[in-house]
Amino acid sequence: MLDLLAQTGLNAVYAASYISLIAVGLVLIFGVMGVVNFAHGELYMAGAYAVVLLYTDFQIPFFLAVAVGMMFVGCLGLAMERALFRPLRDNPLGGLVASIGFLMILQSLAVMGFGVRMEHIPPVTQHVIEFSERVRLPLSRLFVIVAAVVLLSALWIFLKKTRFGWALRAAAQDPEAAALQGISINQTARIAMFIGAGLAGIAGAMTAPLVSVNPHMGHSVIVTAFIVIIVGGVGSLEGAIVASVAYAFVHTFVTTFFDGVIADITGLSLMLLVLIVKPTGLFGSADRA
Amino acid sequence: MRNLLIFLAGAAALIALPHFLSFSQQEILVFLTINVLLVSSYRLLTLTGEWSLGHVVIMGVGAYASALFTKELGIFVPVSILLGGITAALLAVLLSFPLFRMKGFYFLIGSFAAGEIIRLLWKRFRDPFGGPKGIKGIDPMPDFSIGIYDFDFFEPVSYYYLSGAVVVVCLWILWRIERSPVGLTFHAVHWQDKLAEASGVNLRAYRTLAFAIASGFAGISGALLAHYVGTINPNSFDVEVMVFVLTWAIVGGTGTFYGPILGCIVLTVINEIVLRELGFEQMRPLIYGAIMILSILFMPKGLESVVQKLISRRATDGATGQEAKT
């Protein structure tokens, strides 16, 4: 029993790391630009397919493929910012529709380029860390956990210590006042979009050998990410991380002890409960709606 | 007199329409009538300023309810379609208690969560909802004959006449509701909520009323769908369908009654008929997505704004012509 609990706990930590990478990117984009990026799950998918193409087909070393994939998805984010979100800045519903359109384009590009079938990616490493006979952590999962911790810490330092991070937080708080202080809204939007998309891309690239890669993989991810950012409080990075961990633990444990559908229902019910009791989320402030 | 003639000509065109189409296009026509009702009921909800992401699941509630009523209780199909709508409306009243504690973006996500929970319950409980495979072999409408025309409801043309008639009646009711004092209050709830509240309008009650009415008509459209296709499952009502409804409403524009209907018809015709005929089968989502992006970028007020511009131009042309005469 203790073994099972420990193993489920490890699985939850792994789930929490990639969920938080995706959710933090989504929160960053929402916070700075005020749009709900529905295509975020497809950016994650694009990261995974970058690894399929570079690592599986072209035999490029895995970590190089991941880095290239992250840059590629970050640039996709830049393109979205310039082509879609900048012209629609004063039209939140418009941004939503445009991102849904972009989602469909990315998805059908993936279908045309790779087919609807699941991709097979050879494992990066077969190595498994064994804590005991029944508690084991595959090394490739550890990579994802380490990547999440390193990247999120780096983002934290960037946001709190550098001038760019300062500008970004100012623009998120009050775009107009920030612009009056000489902060370029376009510049901060570009940075937020590049980082947000890049985080989704690296989450997809790192987990590609561990999950089933197919053109519709973004769907369940975006639902999870929405739950997480609502529970954490829309616009709050700390909230997104805390909620990712909480959600991952609840979901993984309920999946292990009951089944996957019950786990989904539990997650959604918890989110609804949070919305009813504290509609701004755990870490959200009342004025950001 | 002139309006009556236009009305008669329109009705004749709608009755004649399916006979010029291929079988698969006739089927699309049936779905189109159902979707027109769905998107129009959605607009009634947006009148109060709330955008829901659970509307398609509510439609599914009507479909499941009607299917189960006929299957388990043996209720006559037309009655059970109505009961499906009523069930959906009652469920909406229940859902309004948690959901209307939220507004705006939070309502959007909250309604999505509520809808998804309902959908997952269908998926999880094999009895009575049939689990992931859903309900099969739903009773069709019983056939009947009116002398000049034999209704065989496996034929899309017959079902089109039925669903078309139901949808026209429902649209008329929706139109009357919007024009009634209640409908005007919905507008007030959206645009002047503080003033409306100060004038003694119970905002929460009117929001709930709009939600219940919209859900009732969505339920009817779902029941119409269930008795046509004969099989429904949780994936028939997932968020991808909701995305389509949302884009019909936004691309069409929600400022007028006809905006969402226009959006639904135009986008469906482009997606199902034009792109299919041109042979872009695999690229359809790509082109559809591009059309969505372009229309929101260059036509942010929706298709209805184009129509309004055309009408006002003709009106001003007429006015200047009159001036020239005098």
CA nearest B35: which of B178, B231, B242, B233? B242
Given this model, what pLDDT does residue A78 score? 92
Given this model, what pLDDT does residue B318 score? 60
Percentage of chain B lying above the pLDDT 70 cut: 97
DSSP single-letter state for residue A120 = P
Distances (CA, A) of A198 to A78, A98, A144, B29, B128: 10, 20, 15, 43, 45
pLDDT band at B190 (very low <50, low <70, confident <90, very high): confident
* pLDDT (mean) for B19-23: 80
**Residue B292 is nearest to which of A97, A223, A279, comparing CB atoms?**
A97
Distance in angstroms (rounded) separating the CA atoms of residues B130 and B132: 7
Q: State the average pLDDT for chain A.
A: 86
Q: Dihedral through CA B165, CA B169, CA B172, CA B177, nearest 10? A: -150
Q: Dihedral through CA A207, CA A211, CA A215, CA A219, nearest 10? A: -90
User: Tokens in use for A268?
Assistant: 């959604």
Residues of A in contact with B288 (CB under 8 A): 101, 104
pLDDT band at B317 (very low <50, low <70, confident <90, very high): low
CA nearest B222: which of B89, B53, B27? B89
Given this model, what pLDDT does residue A215 score? 86
Rg (CA), chain B: 21
Q: How many CB pairs under 8 A join A and B?
A: 115
Bridge pairing between strands A128-130 and B144-145: unpaired
Portion 103-142 of B in contact with A at CB < 8 A: 103-106, 109-110, 112-114, 116-117, 120-121, 123-124
CA nearest A7: which of A149, A143, A132? A132
Q: State the average pLDDT for chain B.
A: 85
Give how far A265 is from chain B: nearest CA, Å.
Answer: 6
Give how far A89 is from chain B: nearest CA, Å.
Answer: 11
- pLDDT at B224 exceeding the cut of 60: yes
User: Tokens in use for A154?
Assistant: 């780096």
Higher-pLDDT residue of A284, A258: A258
Give how far A225 is from chain B: nearest CA, Å.
Answer: 12
Identify whether the C-beta of residue B266 lies closer than 8 Å to the C-beta of residue B306.
no
User: Tokens in use for B108?
Assistant: 């959007």
**Residue B292 is nearest to which of A100, A227, A268, comparing CB atoms?**
A100
Identify whether the C-beta of residue B219 lies closer than 8 Å to the C-beta of residue B170.
no
Higher-pLDDT residue of B263, A175: B263
Given this model, what pLDDT does residue B151 score? 75
Which 3 state secondary structure label does DSSP give A60? coil
**b/e for A4-40, b at 16 or more Cβ within 10 A?**
eeebbebbbbbbbbbbbbbbbbbbbbbbbbbbbbbbb
ipTM comes to 0.80
User: Tokens in use for B147?
Assistant: 């002398």
User: Tokens in use for B142?
Assistant: 């019983």
Given this model, what pLDDT does residue A289 score? 39
Find how far residue A274's CA is from the centre of its chain: 21
**Residue B288 is nearest to which of A104, A269, A276, comparing CB atoms?**
A104
Given this model, what pLDDT does residue A42 score? 92
pLDDT band at B27 (very low <50, low <70, confident <90, very high): confident
Given this model, what pLDDT does residue B90 score? 94
**Residue A268 is nearest to which of B116, B123, B246, comparing CB atoms?**
B116
Q: Please list the residues that pair with A136 across neighbouring strands.
A: A130
- pLDDT at A271 exceeding the cut of 60: yes
Given this model, what pLDDT does residue A287 score? 47
Give how far A92 is from chain B: nearest CA, Å.
Answer: 10
Given this model, what pLDDT does residue B325 score? 47
CA of B246: which chain A residue's CA is closest?
A: A97
Residues of A in contact with B100 (CB under 8 A): none
Element (H, E) at B274: none
Given this model, what pLDDT does residue A197 score? 94
Cβ–Cβ contact A109 with B under 8 A: yes
CA nearest A21: which of A112, A142, A150? A150
Residues of B in contact with A108 (CB under 8 A): 282-286, 289
Identify whether the C-beta of residue A101 lies closer than 8 Å to the C-beta of residue B289.
yes
Range of lowest pLDDT (A34-43, A254-263, B257-266, B309-318) = B309-318
Tell me the pLDDT tens digit for each residue of A203-261. Answer: 999 888 888 888 888 888 888 888 888 888 777 788 888 899 999 999 999 988 888 88
Interface with B, mutate which of A99, A265, A278 (most B CBs under 10 A): A265
Put simply, the answer to whether A289 touches B289 (Cβ < 8 Å) is no
Distances (CA, A) of B221 to B29, B60, B268, B284, B315: 14, 9, 17, 26, 36
Tell me the pLDDT tens digit for each residue of A121-162. Answer: 888 777 888 777 778 888 888 888 999 999 999 998 998 888
Distance in angstroms (rounded) separating the CA atoms of residues A94 and B250: 8
Interface with A, mutate which of B95, B293, B295 (most A CBs under 10 A): B293
Hey, which of B14-23, B24-33, B194-203 has the most confident mean pLDDT? Answer: B24-33
CA of A228: which chain B residue's CA is closest?
A: B109
CA nearest B41: which of B213, B184, B187, B193? B213
Higher-pLDDT residue of B165, A281: B165
Tell me the pLDDT tens digit for each residue of A54-99. Answer: 888 888 888 898 899 999 999 999 999 998 888 888 777 788 888 8
- pLDDT at A45 exceeding the cut of 90: yes
**Residue A88 is nearest to which of B110, B286, B296, comparing CB atoms?**
B296
Put simply, the answer to whether A104 touches B251 (Cβ < 8 Å) is no
Residues of B in contact with A107 (CB under 8 A): 285
Give how far B141 is from chain A: nearest CA, Å.
Answer: 34
User: Tokens in use for B314?
Assistant: 């003709």
Cβ–Cβ contact A238 with B under 8 A: no
Cβ–Cβ contact B250 with A under 8 A: yes
Distance in angstroms (rounded) separating the CA atoms of residues A24 and A151: 11
Which 3 state secondary structure label does DSSP give A130? strand
Percentage of chain A lying above the pLDDT 90 cut: 20
Range of lowest pLDDT (A26-40, B136-150, B242-256) = B136-150
Q: In degrees rounded to 5, what are phi and psi of residue B13?
A: -60, -45
* pLDDT (mean) for B115-141: 85
Tell me the pLDDT tens digit for each residue of B274-311. Answer: 777 777 777 778 888 888 888 888 888 888 888 888 88
pLDDT band at B326 (very low <50, low <70, confident <90, very high): very low
| Helix, strand, coil distribution of chain B in percent, nearest 5 | 80, 0, 20
pLDDT band at B320 (very low <50, low <70, confident <90, very high): low
CA of A288: which chain B residue's CA is closest?
A: B105
Put simply, the answer to whether B106 touches A289 (Cβ < 8 Å) is yes
